Amino acid sequence: MAGFAAILNRYSTALQISPLVITLTLFLVGPVVVIIILSLWKFDGFMTLDGVWTFKNYIKIFTRSLTVINYLETLKLLAITLFVTFILGFTLAYFLVFDIVKLRTKMLLFLLCVVPFWTSAVIRTVAWIPFLGSEGIINQAIMGIGLSDQPLKFLLFSEFAVLLSYIQIFTLFMMAPLFNVMARINKDLIEAARDNGASSLQILWNIILPLCKPGIAIGAIFVIALVASDFTAIRILGGAKVGTVAASMANQMYNVQYPPAAATGMILLLAVLLLVGGIMRMVDVRRQL
């Protein structure tokens, strides 16, 4: 028994990290290796030719203009979503941390933000249609007040609708890390600054924001991951008129064009890794964590 405990002790770190490593090796590294292999096989228009190696799938990606268009569109959606979710998420976290005093209320309000996620995102996305459609609530209201005599068509089946649903669903992922980080800011720091005559704005800019950097970084990573790989919202609310990389890849997958889809996906993964790596370089998330 003592020997067993001793072994546990000696290899404790290895034992502690192994469940994570094993799970991710099986269900991330493994699949990615499969996908890389798949992306290097030939596709003849109908099916994948197993074992026939080629770089053609990658060459195609780098030699056509569609790639650039798709990435620009993805970046555009990403930039807008990051910006809005940051402003919104930061303000909401600030409110919960600094403006609400009772812990109980903080928890309650936070939970209220989480509960909608237990209603399927698919249903929630579909529910935008009665809201934004030509005969939907918003248009009825606008025409009723007389702001316009034609329904606003851009509200639905457009980038606007997709962005709206992104902001609705992804703000929480920006807010939660910020909430976490803000709550741990030492209140004494703020007190001291205030005592020295700093205004709220100065405190915000010089103390709170810098200390929130790891939270901002993590939130950004979450949002990037979610936006870059979404295609469901684009299908349902974009009227399939919005062309991001993920949407193109999904189209290829749906048409059973696995090798081209795999190649598109690998490049996307690489691109996002680079972006995230850049963020982690600016904010040493690993060390701050």
Binding span for another protein by CB under 8 A among 77-85, 96-104, 141-149, 205-213: 96-104
The closest of 89, 95, 52 to 219, measured between CA atoms, is 89
Q: Give the one residue of 63, 104, 146, 195 binding another protein; rule: CB under 8 A.
A: 104
Q: How would DSSP label each residue in 68-131?
A: HHHHHHHHHHHHHHHHHHHHHHHHHHHIIIII---HHHHHHHHHHHHGGGGS-HHHHHHTHHHH
- Looking at 75-83, 141-149, 176-184, 205-213, which segment touches another protein (CB under 8 A)? 176-184
Interface with another protein in residues 180-219 (CB under 8 A): 180-181, 184, 200, 214, 218
For residues 244 and 247, give the distance between their C-alpha atoms in angstroms, rounded to a whole number. 5
Binders of another protein in range 154-173 (CB under 8 A): 156-157, 168, 171
CA atoms within 13 A on the CB side of 16: 6
Contact status: 43 vs another protein (CB under 8 A): yes
Whole-angstrom CA distances from 122 to 99, 128, 236 are: 33, 10, 9
Strand, helix or coil for residue 48: strand
Question: How many residues touch another protein (CB under 8 A)?
Answer: 130
Is residue 145 a contact residue for another protein (CB under 8 A)? no
The residue from 62, 273, 282, 284 that contacts another protein (CB under 8 A) is 273
54 binds another protein (CB under 8 A): no
Query: Smallest distance from the beta carbon of 147 to another protein, in angstroms?
Result: 19
Per CB under 8 A, the segment of 40-48, 76-84, 141-149, 205-213 that binds another protein is 40-48
Q: Which residues in 219-258 contact another protein (CB under 8 A)?
A: 221-222, 224-225, 228-229, 231-232, 235-236, 239-244, 246-258
- Least Å from the CB of residue 206 to another protein: 16
CA dihedral 279, 283, 285, 288 (to 10 degrees): -170
| 12, two tokens | 């404790």
**Nearest approach, Cβ of 188 to another protein (angstroms)?**
16
Beta carbons within 10 angstroms of residue 5's beta carbon? 9
Question: Measuring CA to CA, how many Å separate 289 from each of 18, 21, 213, 221?
Answer: 21, 19, 11, 14
Under rule CB under 8 A, residue 272 binds another protein: yes
Decide if residue 269 touches another protein (CB under 8 A): yes
